[in-house]
Structures are given as C-alpha cells and as structure tokens.
Chains A and B, each alone.
Chain A
Amino acid sequence: MQFSEYFILVFFLFLGAFIAACAIIIGKLLGFASKDTKNKFAPYECGMETYGNARIQFKVGYYLFALLFLIFDIEVLFLFPILTQFKMIMAGNTALNPVIVFANLTIFVTVLTFGLAYAWKKGILKWE
C-alpha cells in the first residue's frame, strides 16, 4: 500500500487540537479553583457592571469586506494553476498560445480591478 504525501497531514491536522485538548484538561485538573461567586463568572468589562448580552448587532461593513475578500480570494485561487505554468507557457513549451494566455489573464485581472475601483467609488472601502 502506497501512502500519498497528503496522508501524513491527517496526523498533523489533529496534532494541534490534541495538544490543546490535553493542555486544557491538565489545566482543569491542576488549576486551583477559587470560590464560585457571581462576580467570578461575570464577563470582564473593565470593572463596570455588565449589562445585556454580548451577542449584539454589529456593523454591516464587516460583511461588505468579507464579500470583497471572497471575490479576491477566489481570484487568487483561479490564478494559481495558470501562473504555476506561466513560465512554461511564455517560453512556448506547452500547447497553449502565449499571446492568448496573456490576453486572457489581462482581461480577467482587469475586470476584477474594475470591481475594486467600483467598490472604492461607492464608498464601501471607507470605514466609519
């Protein structure tokens, strides 16, 4: 049976979580517990009496930045495979036509740059 390069990473995926779980359990076992009072469990908000729930409404601006992030992250993801081969394509070592590839890339990036410019003009990038 041949193991692939990815298989070992399964161990590493759980390694960090395992270490943290062990540390928290050790902390639970070793930690000296103080008396359970109401103030001990109160959220620390600089000593003032806490009021209400912390799951409050927050600015819609965060969502807009997340949407922009999605667009550009997917752009990066799409560019990765073609740019990995970019040197080979430009040297003419593949079946693809270098001029067409370059033109396609330019169009793709330009459209997204216009998207950023549009968001900029609309004032989404302004943080208030």
Chain B
Amino acid sequence: MMIPSVPHPLGDWVRQMIPIPELAFLANALICIIAICAVAIGSAPILIYMERKVCAHIQCRLGPMRLGYRGTLQTIADVMKLLFKEVYAPSGADKFVFYLAPMIVLVAPFLVLAMIPFDHNLQVSNLSVGIPFVIAVNGFGILAILIGGWASNNKYSLLGALRSGAQMISYEISFALVLLFVVMVSGSASLMEITLSQSGTILDWWIFKIPVLGFLAFIMFFISSIAELNRAPFDIAEAEQELTGGYHTEYNGTAFAMFYLAEYINLITISSLASTCFLGGFFPPLIGVEAVDTILLKVPGFLWFAGKVVLMIWAYMMVRWTFVRPRVDQLMALEWKFLLPFNLLLLALGAVYIAF
C-alpha cells in the first residue's frame, strides 16, 4: 500500500504526521495489516453464505433462510457456535504439532494477499520476485495439511493428509508452469508489472492477447488451481464419503474454524491471482469505443478488481457443485499424463510465439 516505493495519499499523510521514519513505517505497516485483515476475515463469512446459497440453488433448495434477511446472519451464528465449542486434542495426538497446523495454514493466504495489487497504488509489497514468492509461500498450505493429518492419530486423517499432499504437490507443478508462461509473455515476475503489461483494451489481457494460447493457459490455471484449493471436484483429501472429512477430522471448535477460514481466504487469493495474471487486474474491460470507455474508466480500479475476483469465485463455486469427484488414480493420471506434458508444450509454443 505505502511501503516504501508506491506512493499513496494515506501513507504520505502518515509520513508527514510522524517525522521519525521508523515509527511512520510501523504505523503504515499497522494500517496495511488492518486493511488486509479486514479484507480477508470480513469477506470469508460472506463467501461462506454465498457458497451455501449457490449450492442450494443448484440443488433446487433455498439454503439458509431463517436468520436475518434471507439467512444473511446464518454465518455469524455459525461462528458463534464454533467459538463456544470445546477445543481438545484426541488421545495419542502430538499436541504441539496438532495446534501448530492451524497456525501454519493461515500463514500462506495472508502473505499472498500482501502481494496482490488491488489498484494502481493499493499494494502492500511489490516484490520483483512476486510469482516465485507466491508459489513458494503456497507450500505452507501443504505443510499444514500434512502435519495436521499426521498429528491427529487418526487413520482417516493420515490418509487424507497423504492424499492431499500427493495431490497438491502434483498440481503445484502445473500451477507453477502456467504462472511461468505468464511471466514469460509479460517479461516480469512482479505482480504489479504483470498487471501493467495488460493496460489497454480488453484484448490486451493475457487471456486474449495471445491467440488460443492465452485462453488455454487460463483453462490450465483454472484446473490446477481447483486442485491447489482442495475444492471439489478435486477434494479427495477431505472426501466425506470415504474419509469422514480427511485431515481435519479431529479438529473442532476454533481450531477447525481456522482450516475453514484458510480455505476461503485461499479462494480469494487464488481468484485475485487469476484476475491479476489473466483478466487484467484492476483495469476496466475497455472495448475501444470512446463513449463507453470514459464511463468504464470512471469506476475505481479496485472495484473492477473486486468484480473480477467475485466472477472467478462464482466460477469456482459452479464447478464445485456441478462436477463429480474423480478417483485418486484418475486424479494423479490427469496431472502427470495430461496436464504436465500439455503445460510443457504450452510453454514451448509460447516461447516460439515470442521468439518469432
């Protein structure tokens, strides 16, 4: 947002008010943290409500209707319920690791949110190694699931964690390769630079800018990110019918809530990543007609960004409630025998496209 190279009115104002640079930095850091927390923790209940409504309407139900206007207070009630549940570890559990897992699972989403450019001057940290950093940090999620499942002393948890680990590390490769494709065509690994390389009309977004290849890369990103998110149809890690919930079977109360929260913040971060890398980030979908474009440009950039993120999240939800879950061997075969060779081919074609 305001640290240290990106100018921002609020950050400049804080720097003027506090003459000592170290203190001003700390104050700015605090503002950033509060803003990111508000975005993450504030939107998770809304997403959970949205998911329940989308799921219900796909299944010809109404979903939560009783608390508040059309069930809007349902998530608040659920949070209250989780707060008053007892938190305990089962017998034989490795207590330290058991409680460490929900802490580690929340590290990655906040670190990734700190990298996302929400608007021209709304970004916490603009690293030049943004994309590799995001991929590296995503590993925390796998680690948390693995140690959480292992520490629970439950066979279903262990199986779920191992499956999840195998699935997530496999799809991490195609996830990284697709992002590598974006890095190659845009010529920078910084998320802000990638967004700025898509300025112009809607046809300058990376999904449309390179004919066919860009769209294929977006589809690849979509598939592998569903697996990264551990969402259905790739949710063999927590398949209720087989594993009674997988790695978080033994978690209850607020410890379980952390896994749930991380899942929904991850949904936001991955959707933000998709809109940054493929859908033009905070740029409006200009169509080249001046009369329309002037109106589109009047809307602030972060609203466009939020709109694209909501669109992506809606797509993830539709996929989740429409497709059936593949078997574990089919899932691994899809990654290693189809997605990975296809991604390498995509990368090669992209290289050829740039070179000639």
Which residue numbers of A lie inside 8 Å of B, CB to CB? 1-9, 11-13, 15-17, 19-21, 23-24, 26-28, 30-34, 40-46, 53-56, 58, 61-62, 65-66, 68-69, 72-73, 76-77, 79-80, 83-88, 90, 98, 102, 105-106, 109, 113, 116, 120, 125-128
A28 touches B341 (CB 8 A): no
B91 touches A128 (CB 8 A): no
Please indicate the chain B residues that have their CB under 8 angstroms from the CB of A76 in the complex.
Answer: 135, 173, 176-177, 180
Please, could you name 22 A-B residue pairs with CB atoms under 8 Å apart, sorted by A? Answer: A8-B3, A12-B114, A13-B107, A16-B103, A17-B104, A27-B86, A27-B257, A31-B83, A31-B87, A32-B84, A40-B88, A41-B88, A43-B154, A54-B154, A55-B150, A58-B158, A62-B162, A66-B165, A66-B169, A84-B187, A86-B184, A127-B333
Among B73-98, those with CB < 8 Å from A are 82-88, 90-92
A16 touches B158 (CB 8 A): no
Q: A12-B36, A27-B83, A54-B152 are in contact. Are A86 and B351 (CB under 8 A)?
A: yes
Q: Is the interface of B mostly helix, strand, loop or mixed?
A: helix
Minimum C-beta distance from A68 to chain B (A): 8
Minimum C-beta distance from B185 to chain A (A): 8
A5 to B165, CA, bound (A): 31
Please indicate the chain B residues that have their CB under 8 angstroms from the CB of A80 in the complex.
Answer: 131-132, 180, 183, 189
A54 touches B87 (CB 8 A): no
Minimum C-beta distance from A83 to chain B (A): 4
B126 within 8 A of A: yes
Q: Which residue of A24, A32, A58 contacts B254 across the interface (Cβ within 8 Å)?
A: A24
Q: A43-B250, A73-B176, A80-B183 are in contact. Are A26 and B336 (CB under 8 A)?
A: no
A54 touches B155 (CB 8 A): yes
A69 touches B158 (CB 8 A): no
Minimum C-beta distance from B141 to chain A (A): 11
Total contacts A to B, CB within 8 angstroms? Answer: 226
Which residue numbers of B lie inside 8 Å of A, CB to CB? 3-5, 21-22, 25, 29, 32-33, 36-37, 41, 82-88, 90-92, 99, 102-111, 113-114, 124-127, 131-132, 135, 150, 152-159, 162, 165-166, 169-170, 172-173, 176-177, 180, 183-185, 187-189, 244, 249-250, 253-255, 257-258, 262, 328-329, 332-333, 336-337, 340-341, 344, 347-348, 351, 354-355
A100 to B329, CA, bound (A): 40
A28 to B254, CA, bound (A): 9
Minimum C-beta distance from A120 to chain B (A): 7
B340 touches A3 (CB 8 A): no
A34 to B87, CA, bound (A): 11
A16 touches B166 (CB 8 A): no
